[in-house]
Copies of this chain bind each other. A is one copy, B any other.
């Protein structure tokens, strides 16, 4: 993005964008209506949009299509990105089998695994390579983003290989918590999502 926005604002604008994708472009939206759809207070939405920049709005609010285009332009969401997947287990394979994501915004162009046998045997539209070729292939194929779907103990080395190849952002599904001062890293941990869900349930009676 061209301007430096607070992480929480970026996160909320991404959520709003996702909701807008499923709407009629001509739908008229007020901040409070939009707020209900994404479960965010209306004044927070107004603040986010004002921080993000000038957006043509009337008293009647925003037009869905214009708001969509505004966020799309703000973050360059119209340019497709090249993505690779490290770790071709069940989760990694689910990306390899669906190489075009979100109508072409993300295109899975390569997969990597340490198991050479698996790479040779597996049928895949997306080319698969041994993990040790990762940095070279990422550079050659000008890959933008990496998905890490390897076991925890292999997460750090995988991140380093991706960085070496010049990757710009990493989505980490391994249980390891990854961070980096040079590139954007997003950790998604399934068990933590379950734990958060557990914490949100009032007065849960438990017992297996």
Contacts and interface: CB of A to CB of B under 8 A. Distances in A.
Nearest to A94: B90
A83 interface: yes
B195 A17 contact: yes
B169 A83 contact: no
Most chain-B CB neighbours within 10 Å: which of A18, A77, A147? A18
A60 interface: no
A116 interface: no
23 contacts: A1-B201, A1-B204, A4-B202, A7-B200, A15-B192, A18-B192, A19-B177, A75-B198, A77-B198, A79-B206, A94-B94, A95-B190, A101-B190, A106-B191, A106-B194, A142-B207, A147-B194, A169-B198, A171-B190, A171-B193, A171-B194, A186-B196, A188-B193
Contacts of A107: 208
Contacts of A200: 1, 7, 10, 169, 184, 186
Interface of A is mostly: mixed
Interface residues of A, number: 66
Nearest to A78: B206
Interface string A75-88: 11101111100000
A53 B21 CA distance: 41
Contacts of A1: 199-204
Contacts of A195: 14, 17-18, 75, 77, 102, 105
A189 B106 CA distance: 14
A91 interface: yes
A144 interface: yes
Interface in A145-174: 145, 147, 168-171
